[in-house]
Chain A
Amino acid sequence: MSFLLPPVVRDYLNEVWFEQRSMFCALLTDQGTIAQSLGPAHVFGLSVDAPEILDMIAGLGPDEHVVIPFVQFGNGRAAHLHHAARAGQRFVLLFAADNTFAEMGAQQQLANELALANVRQAQTIAALTQAQQLLRDSERELKRTHDLKSLFISKMSHEFGTPITAVLGRMRLLEGVLNAAPAVAGVAEHLNVVRRGVLHLHQLVQSVLDEARLEQGTLRLEPTRVRLSAIVDDLLQLFSAVAQEKALKFEAVFDGDHLLWIDALRVKQILINLVSNGLKYTHQGKVSLYMHWREGRLTASVTDTGPGMTREQSSSLFQPFKRLNERSSVSGTGLGLAISRELAQHMGGNIEVRSTLGDGTCFIFTMPCETVASLELGQSRAAKVLIVDDDTDIRELLCAVLNQDGFNVYEASNGAEAEERFRTLSPDVILLDMQLGAEHGTAVARKLRKLGCVSRIVALSASNSDETARLALTSGCDAFLSKPVDFTRLKELMQEN
């Protein structure tokens, strides 16, 4: 197709295509001047035939095909410039490239921003890493200081405790002497004041020591067999006179006299704290203690008709050294409730408080615990028995028989369950079947012993051969019973525990 179109078509193209698309074309002479042009040169800020483009292509040979991706004009517009030579004709084309140029600019801007963001990110990460390291260092330092503090308190409490105990002992002797001999006027009264002071100091030192042990995690629980009624009786004896002195009523009741396996000293410590708190802050009415054991949980609620508390007061009640009213005339260290709750939590339980200002307070202490055996039997026997057998029928039967005799019975159907139950329950006796499906009971016994199990393990087997018994006893079992289990012998083995 010839470049020179009929004028009508040229005009139409010029009008429709070149104008709309902002395109320009210039045909050059052999001498490199502009012969003809087509398209709106003014769009690019050029004169009618765009002689300015000659400068742009200066130096290019007449046959060279060159594309300049971007040319920016004085009016700010941009274009792609093509210098082409075809069939002996040399021409220059301009295609508006504003959008592409703008996009490239934007892309470049984005790339710059991204690079900047990367630099900032790297700087932030470095700062964060440094901050984390500082935090770790601070944590270590804080823990070291905290441990030192706890150790110091613990040692100092011990140091204080020893002479205080000696003073208390000597005071008891002195009181004995005074009781036997005619008292010098006023001596007994002075002694009484000293005794109260020393007792208070003793209590304080014990509290600080307990707090330190709880913080260090070194407080050791010493469970014993104790009746619920004995705890309630002790508290009644301890607080009836105190309540009477303040013209208050103190009631302590229980529901079901179970024989429990708990650290009675620590449980009483909590209850003494709660009851004495109630009696301290109550000025008229009563303080009630209600205790019961149900489905593995011991619950004690201490309710008073005292002044009650606001929600804010209740929420900060268990913080160490926090007292309800710093200027109150009521004596105390502010450690009692904090220690009580920590003790409760140490035993797997908790203490909650419900109170309304002007309407009394109720503390609820709960903790998991087991009964030793039913009180009707009143005999000493293993508290917890774990039955490990893959046969549900046998587990059900053994459970029923042992439950009936007051044991706390738990079940496992395979070795893995037995290990998990051993870890969580620390049973006194484990009845272990020697054939747990594909697993052998001897392997389970060895594994349990490896885990530190000191429970009495009684092997059960459908086989009564000497070899099976020997294998069981050499794998860590303490006794061997063949099935069908002789329940009389089983009970004898339980009693031996």
Chain B
Amino acid sequence: MDPIMAQLRARYVASFPEKRALLQAAWQAIPTHPGAKMDLRVLCHKLAGSAPMYEFIELGAAAREACNAIDSSYENSAVATHIDSILTILARD
């Protein structure tokens, strides 16, 4: 891998704990703060855009699924599965 790309990728991975914490906070805030769902969507949208560019294909796909679920469902339970997937990948990688 290109050394600059490797460096950028390492920096991206280093940001996973922060991304995970932000996602968790937005997810947990949904029952009490209606605006949190939009925050969650923005976070997922960003992940869906950036993860594949850093070659984290699975993470990007999970984030895209989460975005679609947020857009198409009023039920939080339908979103929960995808958020769990994202959080798992972020914790694993």
Residues of A within 8 A of B (CB): 390-391, 393-394, 396-397, 400, 404, 433, 435, 437, 462, 483-485
Contact = CB atoms under 8 A, between A and B. Distances in A.
B4 A393 contact: no
User: Which 6 interchain pairs have the tightest Cβ spacing?
Assistant: A484-B52, A462-B49, A393-B50, A484-B53, A483-B49, A391-B46
Contacts of A437: 42
A483 B63 CA distance: 13
Contacts of B54: 393, 397
Contacts of B28: none
Interface string B44-87: 01101110111000001000100000000000000000000000
Contacts of A391: 46, 49-50
- Give the most central of A390, A437, A462, A483: most B CB within 10 Å: A462
Contact of B53 (A397, A404, A435): A397
10 contacts: A391-B49, A393-B12, A393-B53, A397-B53, A400-B4, A462-B48, A483-B49, A483-B52, A484-B60, A485-B53
A433 B49 CA distance: 10
A485 B11 CA distance: 19
B46 A393 contact: yes
Contacts of B53: 393-394, 397, 483-485
Contacts of B8: 396-397, 400
Given A394-B50, A397-B8, 7 more contacts: A391-B50, A393-B15, A394-B46, A400-B4, A400-B8, A462-B64, A484-B49
Interface residues of B, number: 17
Nearest to A393: B50
Nearest to A483: B49
A64 to B, nearest CB: 85
Contacts of B5: 400
B64 to A, nearest CB: 7
- Give the most central of B5, B15, B50, B60: most A CB within 10 Å: B50
A292 B62 CA distance: 50
A404 B6 CA distance: 14
Interface in B22-56: 42, 45-46, 48-50, 52-54
Given A404-B4, A462-B64, A484-B60, A397 B42 contact: no
A390 B49 CA distance: 11
Contact of B45 (A393, A396, A404, A435): A435
Contacts of A400: 4-5, 8
A164 to B, nearest CB: 56
A390 B64 CA distance: 17
A387 B51 CA distance: 18
A437 B42 CA distance: 7
Contacts of B15: 393
Contacts of A435: 45
Contacts of A393: 12, 15, 46, 50, 53-54
A437 B45 CA distance: 9
Contacts of B48: 462, 483
Contacts of B64: 462
A489 to B, nearest CB: 13
A437 B41 CA distance: 10
A283 to B, nearest CB: 54
A397 B45 contact: no
Contacts of A462: 45, 48-49, 64
A404 B8 CA distance: 13
Contacts of B60: 484
Contacts of B11: 396
B21 to A, nearest CB: 16
A238 B11 CA distance: 52
Contacts of B52: 483-484
B71 to A, nearest CB: 11
Contacts of B12: 393
A394 B4 contact: no
Contacts of A390: 46
Contacts of A433: 49
A394 B11 CA distance: 12
A471 to B, nearest CB: 16
Nearest to A396: B8
B36 to A, nearest CB: 15
